[in-house]
Amino acid sequence: MKLHLRVWRQKSKESGGHFETYEAEGLNPNMSFLEMLDVVNDRLTQEGKEPIAFDHDCREGICGSCAMAINGEPHGPNKGATTCQVYLRSFKDGETLTVEPWRAKAFPVLKDLVTDRSAFDRIIQAGGFVSVNTGQAPDANAMPIGKEEAEKAFDAAHCIGCGACVAACRNGSAMLFAAAKVSHLGLLPQGQPERAERVRKMVEAMDAAGFGNCSNQYACEAVCPKEISADWIARMNRDYALSLAQKL
Amino acid sequence: MTQGISMMIRSSIGRKWIAAITGLLMIGFVVVHMLGNLQMFAGTPDKINQYAHLLKSMPGVLWAFRLGLIAATGLHIWATLSLARENRMAKPQGYAVAGRKSRLQVTLTSATMVISGSIILGFVIFHLLHFTVQMVDRSYLSMQTVSGGVTMPDVYRMVITGFSNPWISGFYLLAMALLFSHLRHGAASVFQTLGVRDRHLAKIIGTGAWILAVALFLGFAAIPIAVLTGALRP
Ligand code: HEM
Ligand code: SF4
Ligand code: FES
């Protein structure tokens, strides 16, 4: 099969960018989207041109690197899948695809499809951890956690920090990401001592990084490859208010 | 104390709480206001005239409510506009090709909150000048009636006179349609912002918000429509 690509090319953070068109031909429908980009890049390299820069690592949907929007949809057209898990059979033969980097103030484009997502790291550094004294690893099941609580915490912990939620949001809001991280730790006994402080600090870091504010439209949840629920945002709103109430 | 308040005012979630609580207060007001208005259909002008007279006879209570509402409205506008301004800055560039609306769950009502809210504000100002300050039509000042032996303003006649003007009725109906639009999203949003929405409640909340918004629209719109069609006459 073949695809007609319009890809965002940008030299550096400072330079402007533009679309370039590429014909990708002789493709196998069972190739992944990233493999298709590899084929295009091979050709560009052979022609002595600069290959398209894009982030990728695991290529199995667990690292969250492969950030790009396909036809304005972060991670492409499929529900619950990262770009690396999107296969060409999801598209029509001869289809035109516009490929762009995440668009958000807090995620500046570094090169082509690569964005700087360190703003997420700053949110995690502000409180996305539990403080423990080092020592031996604790015995398994030394701290009993109910099955239901464990499952809920695990649902929130599924977030891979890809940033698609921010990319899809018309406000560039990171509330789904922050809520997943706040809730994952806040549901477990290990997270309780720092719970109130954690949500305050993480929200503060999120605001400082220049993300927008949730307006309850849930584009984030629709594109999230891990199907993180917007319910977590409601939970974070609650947790935050309880935390502020302690300061009143 | 001051630390909590300053965090509330500065933070994203704090201002969302302010928007939601003030929004809820305004919803309470519009519901009561609509129910009060429906007394236009009581079959006699006395009912709404006496109701208006009763409210005016308690200036202390009336002004407490008015000041509370003005404060809530001011805070709502400040909170929502400051959030909306940050939202625009956070997304300086959109995608060249827009994603499918169905996939991204964007609805027209949720994407136009600032526009619907601003026109509602414009309407509220006009509405107050019209019926409360009575600057739009000075003749209202002399509309008096006697009910139960007491002389009082003839609110019933003012409303009929006002809505007989199709421009005034038209603007009123437009504003009520936008109130529907604002609350269809807003009344459901409140639950998410205040942290009581989840997967199971989402459907009930969404439907409830829709019913509330429709009921408010029909309740408010009934009066100008009844006047224009002649169902309500002097
Ligand atoms: C009768 C008047 C009004 C009522 C009853 C009302 C009600 C509401 C409610 C319930 C919300 C949802 C709050 C949330 O949980 O996020 C809301 C949101 C909003 N309102 Fe209003 N509102 C009114 C007037 C206005 C005015 C005059 C403006 C604009 C200047 C405005 C702008 C907004 C905006 C932008 C939002 C979205 C906030 C967000 O998504 O975070 N509203 N309104
Ligand atoms: S919440 Fe979903 S979309 Fe957002 S960073 Fe986590 S995995 Fe990605
Ligand atoms: S490359 Fe790791 S999730 Fe796609």
Predicted confidence (pLDDT) at residue A57 exceeds the cutoff of 80: yes
Residue B5 CA to chain centroid, in angstroms?
Answer: 27
- CB-CB neighbours of B34 under 10 Å: 18
The residue contributing the CA closest to ligand 1 atom 1 is B26
Tokens of B179: 């109130």
- Tell me the average pLDDT of chain A: 96
Please identify which residue in the block is written with the tokens 């949907």.
A61
* Spatial contact of A235 and A176, defined as CB atoms under 8 Å apart: no
Fold type of domain A118-247 = Fumarate Reductase Iron-sulfur Protein; Chain B, domain 2 (1.10.1060)
Question: What length does chain B have?
Answer: 234
Q: Where are the domains of chain A?
A: 3-111, 118-247
φ and ψ of A83, to 5 deg: -55, -40
What pLDDT score was predicted for residue B2? 82
Q: How far is the CA of B118 from the centre of ligand 1 (A)?
A: 9
What is the model's pLDDT at position B173? Answer: 97
User: In this predicted structure, what is the pLDDT of residue B105?
Assistant: 85
107-166 of A, contacting B, C-beta below 8 A: none
- From chain A, pick out residues whose CB is under 8 angstroms from the CB of B108: none
Give the number of residues written for chain A: 248
| B16–A247 C-beta distance less than 8 A | no
Q: Is A163 in the pocket of ligand 2 (CB under 6 A)?
A: yes
- B193 vs A212: CB contact, 8 Å cut-off? no
String of DSSP letters for A169-206: -TT-B-HHHHHHHHHHHHTSGGGSTTHHHHHHHHHHHH
Nearest to A123 by CA among A199, A181, A206, A182: A206
For residues A107 and B92, the answer to whether their CB atoms sit within 8 Å is: no
Task: Tell whether ligand 3 has an atom less than 6 A from the beta carbon of residue A150.
Answer: no
Reported as type and span, the H/E element at residue B147 is strand B144-147
From A75's Cα to the closest Cα of chain B, the distance in A is: 11
Nearest ligand to residue A65 Cα: 3
Check if A3-111 and A118-247 are the same fold.
no
Q: Which site among B103, B107, B109, B112 would you substitute to test the A interface, given the most A Cβ atoms closer than 10 Å to its Cβ?
A: B103
Does the beta carbon of B104 lie under 8 angstroms from any beta carbon of chain A?
yes
Buried b (16+ CB within 10 A) or exposed e, B118-151: ebbeebeebbeebbeebeebeebeeeebebeeee
Contact B4 A106 (CB under 8 A): no
Q: Is B20 in the pocket of ligand 1 (CB under 6 A)?
A: yes
Residue whose C-alpha is closest to residue B167's, from B157, B156, B175, B178 = B175
Structure confidence at residue A137 (pLDDT): 82
User: CB contact, 8 Å: A245 with chain B?
Assistant: yes
Position B234 scores a pLDDT of 81
Encode pLDDT of A216-238 as tens digits.
999 999 999 999 999 999 999 99
Residues of A in contact with B195 (CB under 8 A): 234-239, 241
Structure ipTM? 0.94
pLDDT of residue A133: 81
**If you average pLDDT over residues A35-40, what whole number do you get?**
98
B198 to chain A: which residues are within 8 Å by CB? 231, 234
Can you list the alpha helix ranges (DSSP code H) found in chain B?
A: 2-10, 12-37, 45-56, 59-90, 101-104, 108-111, 113-127, 155-164, 166-193, 199-228
Shortest Cα distance, chain B CAs vs residue A64, angstroms: 20
Ligand 2 neighbourhood includes A165 CB (under 6 angstroms) = yes
Q: pLDDT value at position A155?
A: 97
Is A189 exposed, middle or buried (CB count within 10 Å of its CB: 0-12, 13-18, 19+)? exposed
For range A14-35, the mean pLDDT: 96
Give the pLDDT of residue A38. 97
CATH number of A3-111: 3.40.50.1240, 3.10.20.30, 1.10.3720.10, 3.40.50.300? 3.10.20.30
Intervals of chain B under pLDDT 70: 1
Please write the tens of the pLDDT for every residue from A121-157: 999 999 999 998 888 888 888 888 999 999 999 999 9
pLDDT at A148: 94
pLDDT at residue B198, rounded to an integer: 87
**Tokens linked to B161:** 């006179």
Determine the pLDDT at residue B138: 87
pTM of the predicted protein model: 0.94
Contact B222, B41 (CB under 8 A): yes
Q: Does B100 touch chain A (CB under 8 A)?
A: yes
Domains along chain B?
A: 2-229 (1.20.1300)
Q: Is residue A15 predicted with pLDDT exceeding 90? A: yes
Query: Which ligand has the nearest atom to the CA of A35?
Result: 3
